[in-house]
Amino acid sequence: MAQIVLEAQRRDPAGKNANRRMRKAGRMPAVIYGHGRPALAISVDPNAMKDILYSESGQNTIFSVSVDGGIHANAMVKDYQLDPVQGNLIHADLFEIAMDRLLELSVNIELVGDAEGVKIGGGIMDFVTRAVEVECLPAEIPDSIKVDVSHLKINDYIRVKNISVDPKVKILTDPEVVVVTIVPPIKEEVPVEAPAEVAEPEVIKKGKVAEEGAEEEEKEAKGKAAKPETK
């Protein structure tokens, strides 16, 4: 693959107003630094920078920076800023690298295959760790680290120590960290309806009324018996 060359121009770090005018003119402020050299303020084409960031290797892409027509250094994107409203690139920090020195950087994990526990068992794949820290030479930086999940069943998992990488790449992340696991399917709980209240039978109510009527009749009879007869 041909080396990417990013054309840059020196600029004076003159503040926000100058940066706004630069952006309106189709350029973007950036800084390149590294290996003990003082930071150099430059301007770059934001579309060229976007092509680098959205390439297959993304932020780990190695490219050459040409400042005012001369090759300055091999570099990588250390950091970048986006406009919070429109999402456009507005600034980038470039880090100069030496091709013979080890780098520590983050590499994304790419899951490969259809997990048996998902396809057959109906489980849910939980992608816990999406990137790991590695150490390697710039030329050995992988675009991603592929992890085969096709053999995973329900409750199976893969840890960092189970990942296979090129011997030239050393993984620095804790070996016991879980990368991906297959969790059992979520069972929907059937709501239990509360038992309906049983109404008191009507016959009981009638019985009570009958009893009350009988008591009234008994009191009336006793009253007549106690009243003396008049001649």
43: closest CA among 5, 73, 2, 6?
Answer: 6
Domain annotation covers residue 162: yes
Structural domain that includes position 82: 4-98
Choose the final residue of a domain: 98, 119, 147.
98
62: closest CA among 45, 75, 80?
Answer: 75
Which CATH number goes with the domain that contains 78?
Answer: 2.40.240.10
**The predicted structure's pLDDT at residue 221:** 54
Instruction: Going from the first residue of the chain to its last (231 residues), give the mean pLDDT of each consecutive group of 10, the final group possibly shorter.
Output: 84 82 91 87 95 91 92 89 91 94 95 96 96 96 95 97 96 98 84 65 51 56 52 43
Q: In sequence order, which residues have a C-beta less than 8 Å from that of residue 123 and are 6 or more positions away?
A: 115, 117, 153, 154, 182, 183, 184, 185
Domain annotation covers residue 87: yes
Domain annotation covers residue 199: no
**The predicted structure's pLDDT at residue 231:** 43
- Per-residue pLDDT of 164-218, as tens digits, reads 999 999 999 999 999 999 999 987 666 777 666 655 555 555 455 445 555 555 5
> What is the total count of domains within the chain?
2
